[in-house]
């Protein structure tokens, strides 16, 4: 093979993170891969770089601000306190646990993929490798399938700043639903996924999922059955990729090399050997198109390390020169008893050949690609790297000028408003669900049938990558906060000051609260005449949430639900006595 300029991104901290004891996703596999690559002497043949970690602002190029902020502050210690957001963003359970350093791990993964795209777009390299990337299940505003940040989407978005068309190829055992969903309506990115389908996570990726709008036909799915072998996989991979390259003519390729399609994987059910998996890399590399190689799934660690080490050699074009007997390294004992660079097939039966479905899938995919028009033209123009605010000198992170009084007041007001936005974020979710309906059902058929009923659903359906079974995720407005006493204008309480006896009539209204901050007195004041509920001590309400606090405090509720409050009392100062739970201001 001809030589290529290869850039290899690695952060030594990536192996220090863990999803938890016994969890199948093990970031340590990237560290072991690096050790084996180093033991084979490949580092001298590549540019070795440590990418700048992605900032929260960079991640919001695709993900929502609320989701990124949640990831930046969630820890194993406070995850129970953030229960509503935790369920909203699906950072829960064994699939997506809130582990220590979750945001830093995501920043390493995303930073490497973005840096790889930048270097490729600048022409400084022909092939860029980031084995810490490839987390293809993460959605715009929720985690999925061990993935929190979709570094692939961020990588492709960076490439689109410089090139007109990008081809994304996914050879992971699981469907690359997060990437497909992100580019489902555009013709500048073609997504092609080879995956297991049928009662298997994430439950999407049929032949009928082809894109929408301008992106119609630019989402290519190749659903496979159990036990696909090297020969079968090659017989469908090569003709499909050839047809895509002829029709789409990509300017760059992003190849996700998920290793759970290897034989013997703990979650996968395909039967590829190391050579069969690496054949995809060699085949794409031979097309001389700028290439980004990313990691992905893979849960039998020693096989993942073998495959990615061998595929690093394929990127360098030296796969025939390396010794199949493993050199000594820090993790040598892990590779027993054979201590060889190999992943052997097992005795699984290839169901794709047995029932003849492989030929039918190949025929239909090639037929769909033949219906596409030639490569779409794209009007390219220079896109500045810095934002408009940075260009004009606002919000410069390197500025060390002291803030004056006006700056401090504006900053304080901004933080206050942002805090209110956080409070009502959960109430806007129903609107977001309608606007981002692709997040709920990426299958085109199911999406059409369920759209008219989605606003009335009380739960969301999601599939677990561990069990391959669907489970219900409650809406964020279904949590225990509805049973709190009414401090927000009687939006969700009954006459007893709790939500047990009356169904909530409408959306919770945060901005009708009677409490306000008095900057002169520097205290919280309550305008009781704007309230339609009895005055309650906060500590007392928490201690006795079902008690009739209107009667306790001497206030009666008439038949119209309006408190008999003395109108002469316009403002009262509210203090909480932690001992007896009474309002001292009354």
Are the beta carbons of 158 and 38 closer than 8 angstroms?
Answer: no
The kind and range of the H/E element at 549 are helix 549-552
Nearest to 61 by CA among 127, 175, 151: 151
Rounded Cα distance, 382 and 324, in Å:
47
Q: From the candidates 137, 174, 195, 277, which is the catalytic residue?
A: 137
Report DSSP letters for 223-291, one per residue.
EE-TT--HHHHHHHHHHHHHHHHHHH--SEEEEE--GGGBTT-SS----B-HHHHHHHHHHHHTT---E
What three-state secondary structure class fits 169? strand
Rounded Cα distance, 178 and 219, in Å:
12
From residue 127, alpha-carbon distances to 118, 156, 229, 231, 282 in Å are 12, 15, 27, 26, 12
Give the position of tokens 């006896």.
501
Task: Read off the DSSP letter of residue 437.
Answer: G
Scanning 333-480, the segments in alpha helix (DSSP H) are 351-354, 357-370, 388-391, 405-424, 429-435, 444-450
Integer-rounded Cα Rg, in Å, for the chain is: 28
Give the position of tokens 């555009």.
186
The kind and range of the H/E element at 526 are strand 523-526
Angle formed by the axes of helices 28-39 and 301-316, nearest 10°: 50
Scanning 93-190, the segments in alpha helix (DSSP H) are 102-121, 151-159, 177-182
Are the beta carbons of 439 and 67 closer than 8 angstroms?
Answer: no
Whether residue 137 lies in the annotated active site: yes
Rounded Cα distance, 43 and 20, in Å:
31
Q: Which residues are catalytic?
A: 137
């Amino acid at each position: 093979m001809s030589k290529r300029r290869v850039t290899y991104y690695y952060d030594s901290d990536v192996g220090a993170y863990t999803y938890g004891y016994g969890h199948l996703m093990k970031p340590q596999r990237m560290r072991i891969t690096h050790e084996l690559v180093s033991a084979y002497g490949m580092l001298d043949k590549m540019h070795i770089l440590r990418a700048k970690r992605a900032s929260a602002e960079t991640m919001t190029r695709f993900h929502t601000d609320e989701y990124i902020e949640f990831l930046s502050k969630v820890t194993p210690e406070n995850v129970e306190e953030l229960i509503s957001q935790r369920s909203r963003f699906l950072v829960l359970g064994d699939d997506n646990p809130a582990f220590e350093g979750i945001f830093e791990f995501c920043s390493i993964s995303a930073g490497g993929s973005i840096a790889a795209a930048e270097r490729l777009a600048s022409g400084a390299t022909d092939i860029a490798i980031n084995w810490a990337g490839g987390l293809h299940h993460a959605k715009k505003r929720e985690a999925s399938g061990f993935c929190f940040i979709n570094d692939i989407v961020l990588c492709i978005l960076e490439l689109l700043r410089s090139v007109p068309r990008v081809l994304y190829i996914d050879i992971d055992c699981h469907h690359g639903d997060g990437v497909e969903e992100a580019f489902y309506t555009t013709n500048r990115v073609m997504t092609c996924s080879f995956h297991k389908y049928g009662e298997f996570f994430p439950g999407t990726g049929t032949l009928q999922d082809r894109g929408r709008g301008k992106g119609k036909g630019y989402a290519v799915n190749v659903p496979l059955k159990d036990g696909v072998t090297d020969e079968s996989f090659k017989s469908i991979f090569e003709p499909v990729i050839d047809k895509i390259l002829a029709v789409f003519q990509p300017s760059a390729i992003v190849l996700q090399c998920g290793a759970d399609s290897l034989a013997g994987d703990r979650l996968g059910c395909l039967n590829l050997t190391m050579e069969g998996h690496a054949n995809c890399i060699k085949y794409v590399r031979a097309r001389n198109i700028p290439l980004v190689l990313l990691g992905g799934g893979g849960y039998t660690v020693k096989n993942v390390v073998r495959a990615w080490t061998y595929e690093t050699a394929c990127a360098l074009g030296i796969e025939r020169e390396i010794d199949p007997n493993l050199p000594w390294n820090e993790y040598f004992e892990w590779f027993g008893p054979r201590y060889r660079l190999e992943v052997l097939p097992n005795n699984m039966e290839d169901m794709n050949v047995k029932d003849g479905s492989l030929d039918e899938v190949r025929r239909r995919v090639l037929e769909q690609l033949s219906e596409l028009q030639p490569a779409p033209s794209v009007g390219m123009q220079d896109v500045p790297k810095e934002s408009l605010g940075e260009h004009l000198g606002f919000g410069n992170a390197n500025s060390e000028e002291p803030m004056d009084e006006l700056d401090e007041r504006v900053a304080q007001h901004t933080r206050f408003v942002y805090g209110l936005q956080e409070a009502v974020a959960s109430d806007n979710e129903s609107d977001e669900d309608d606007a981002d309906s692709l997040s709920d059902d990426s299958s085109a058929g199911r999406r059409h049938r369920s759209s008219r009923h989605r606003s009335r659903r009380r739960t969301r359906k999601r599939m677990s990558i561990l069990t391959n079974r669907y489970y219900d995720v409650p809406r964020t407005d279904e949590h225990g906060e509805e049973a709190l006493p009414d401090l927000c204008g009687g939006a969700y309480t009954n006459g007893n000051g709790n939500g047990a006896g009356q169904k909530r009539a409408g959306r919770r209204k945060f901005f009708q609260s009677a409490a306000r901050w008095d900057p002169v007195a520097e205290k919280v004041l309550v305008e009781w005449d704007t309230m339609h509920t009895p005055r309650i001590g906060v500590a007392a309400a928490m201690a006795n949430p079902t008690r009739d606090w209107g009667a306790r405090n001497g206030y009666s509720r008439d038949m119209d639900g309006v408190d008999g409050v003395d109108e002469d009392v316009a403002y009262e100062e509210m203090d909480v006595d932690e001992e007896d739970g009474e309002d001292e201001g009354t």
